[in-house]
Each structure stands twice: as structure tokens, then as C-alpha cells.
Amino acid sequence: MNYKSLLNFTADLASQAGKISLQYYQTGITADLKADNSPVTVADKAVEGFIRQQIEKTYPDHAIIGEEFGNNDRDGKTFTWIIDPIDGTKSFIRGVPLYAVLIGLEVEGIVRVGAAYFPALNEMICAAEDEGCWWNGRRSHVSTIERLEEAFICYTSMRDMEKNGRSQAWTKLKNNAYELRGWSDAYGYLAVATGRAEAVLDPKMKIWDCGPFPPIFREAGGFFGNWQGVEGHTFGEALACNSKIRAEIVSILS
């Protein structure tokens, strides 16, 4: 299957949705708390509503999963869109520019197209199966660092490592790494996919938090999957890294 037209649609949609988010960015916007105590704003809802509307208009037979408005009917559907309208809402509320619009397209259970757009930074990374990974219009690749002792490792929350029973594994990993950076949420994955860091880990990961990343990392020459080194986006956790240090990281985490 040729995914080029779907890639163009996805990247363009993420860009348009990102411009909507900027109408609310650094305006003193406040948030409500959802049942899981995560924040949601009118911007989250406006962006997801726009994305859903455009998908439903262009691909009416496709299923949709979104963070704010849930799932539509997936029964018998080959194509499922995965949406996080604002990944990094906590950053967004505080006026920190590391938030992103995430859109992925799952085809028969595998994400094959994805785009992550960072509106406040005007950075786009997108990829599709056999179409390459593209960062602001040029090809993107993971780094060639081969040893963990030379690697930058990104994370979102050390507290989440403790809450999810990963303190011991995280401590071993960070003690072997060259440097740690709290480049959080989707931005850490952008940094790794563009060769500016070597790995990023999250002990808890919902499907919409990582929708576009599997094809982005495959096409950039890296890995996206769980802490045991298995590729995929439905494990409830995430590890992304360049291919050269994957085995060393998985060994330490195990």
C-alpha cells in the first residue's frame, strides 16, 4: 500500500490543529481535572474536535480513538486514527513550548503513519511506512552513539518511575548513562528521533500518547516499544532509542 497521500494528510492536519492550539497558548488558560486527575482544557477539546471533523469528512469509514472524546465504532475497521490533541497539557497550561499535537494511523493493528507537530516551536516530525521519517522537511535519523556511557537519556517524571514500580531499573539505567534530561512528554521522543538524544523512557504510556511514534522510529532507524525490547504501541509503557544502544538498555532494564 502507498502511504504517501495519508502521510501528507496527517502532517497537514497536525499542522492545522496546532495553529488552533496557539490561539489558547500563553493566554492564562485554566484546566479542569478528568476522572484520572489529568488536566483538560478548552484547547484540548477544540483541537481534537477539529481533527475528528477533518478525518470524518475525508475518511468516513475509518475508526477514531482520541484522548478527550474516546472511541467511535472500531468493529470491522481496517484503519484507526489515534489522536492526542495536546500531548503535554501540563506544559501547555504553564506556557512551556514542549507540547505537541499527535496523530497516528493504525492499519490492521500496526501504526504505519504518524505526525507529531510542536506548534510553539514550529517543529514537525512525521513518517509513513517506506516513505521515510521527515523533520521539518528533511530526512531525520536517530543518532549513531553506540555506548550508554555516551548517551543522553530523556524522561518525563521520576515520580512516575517510583509510582509504577520502576525505581530499581531506572536507577541502574541512569547510573550508566552519560547524561539525563527531563525533556518531557512528546518532546523527548522528538529529540531521540532527530538524533539529539539517544533514548527516552516512560513507565506509563496510553495509546494516544504514542500514536505517531512507531513509524517515526522505524523510518528514522530506531526502536519504539516496551522495556523488554518488543516493538509496539499497546504495552502501557514505552522505550524509544537508537538501534545501537537498544540491547544494552534492555539488558539493564531487565
Query: What local confidence, expressed as pLDDT, does residue 74 receive?
Result: 64
Query: What local confidence, expressed as pLDDT, does residue 47 receive?
Result: 98
Domains of the chain: 4-139 (3.30.540.10), 148-253 (3.40.190.80)
DSSP character string of 111-155: EEEEEEEETTTTEEEEEETTTEEEETTEE--------GGG-EEEE
Task: Supply 6's cell numbers.
Answer: 495519508
Task: Supply 69's cell numbers.
Answer: 472524546
Strands 79-87 and 63-66: parallel
DSSP character string of 26-59: TS----EE-TTS-EE-HHHHHHHHHHHHHHHHH-
Contacts of 109 (CB under 8 A, 6+ apart): none
Query: What local confidence, expressed as pLDDT, does residue 42 receive?
Result: 96
Rounded Cα–Cα distance for residues 48 and 44 (Å): 6
Query: What local confidence, expressed as pLDDT, does residue 36 receive?
Result: 84
Q: Encode the chain (254 residues) as per-residue pLDDT tens digits.
A: 889 999 999 999 999 999 999 999 999 999 998 888 889 999 999 999 999 999 999 999 999 999 999 787 666 689 999 999 999 999 999 999 999 999 999 999 999 999 999 999 999 999 999 999 999 999 999 999 999 999 999 999 888 999 988 999 999 999 999 999 999 899 999 999 999 999 999 999 999 999 999 999 999 999 999 999 999 999 999 999 999 999 999 999 98
Q: Pick from 206, 19, 22, 253: which is nearest to 104 by CA?
A: 206
Query: What local confidence, expressed as pLDDT, does residue 52 receive?
Result: 97
